[in-house]
């Protein structure tokens, strides 16, 4: 009997904005700033293990530059990078 692959979509429970005052933020720093990771070492492991998605794709580059409009997904938490100086 052949097994079928099933795609499971996780329901996003929270969507928040991650406000920055610089032109970009690196992914590991964004993980710490958002509270998804307590330390830089924890953020590094989460990213390298392929547990973090950026704009819908798994990202294993902890130094990836994120700009306003980029989205970070970890488990059921979604954060969108936003410019703090932009009019809301």
What interhelical angle do 27-34 and 40-48 show, nearest 10?
120
pTM to 2 decimal places: 0.79
User: In the chain, what are the domains?
Assistant: 14-83 (3.10.290.10)
pLDDT at residue 15 tops 70? yes
Residue 84 binned pLDDT confidence (cut-offs 50, 70, 90): confident
Specify the pLDDT at position 22: 93
**Average pLDDT of span 22-34:** 95
pLDDT at residue 16 tops 60? yes
Residue-wise pLDDT for 41-75, tens only, equals: 999 999 999 999 999 999 999 899 999 999 999 98
């Amino acid at each position: 009997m052949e097994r079928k692959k099933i795609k499971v979509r996780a329901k996003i429970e929270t969507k928040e904005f991650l406000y920055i005052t610089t032109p970009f933020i690196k992914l590991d720093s964004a993980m710490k700033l958002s509270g998804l990771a307590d330390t830089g070492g924890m953020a590094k492991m989460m990213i390298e293990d392929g547990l973090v998605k950026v704009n819908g794709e798994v990202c294993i580059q902890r130094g990836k530059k994120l700009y306003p409009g980029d989205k970070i997904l970890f488990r059921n938490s979604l954060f969108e990078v936003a410019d703090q100086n932009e009019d809301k």
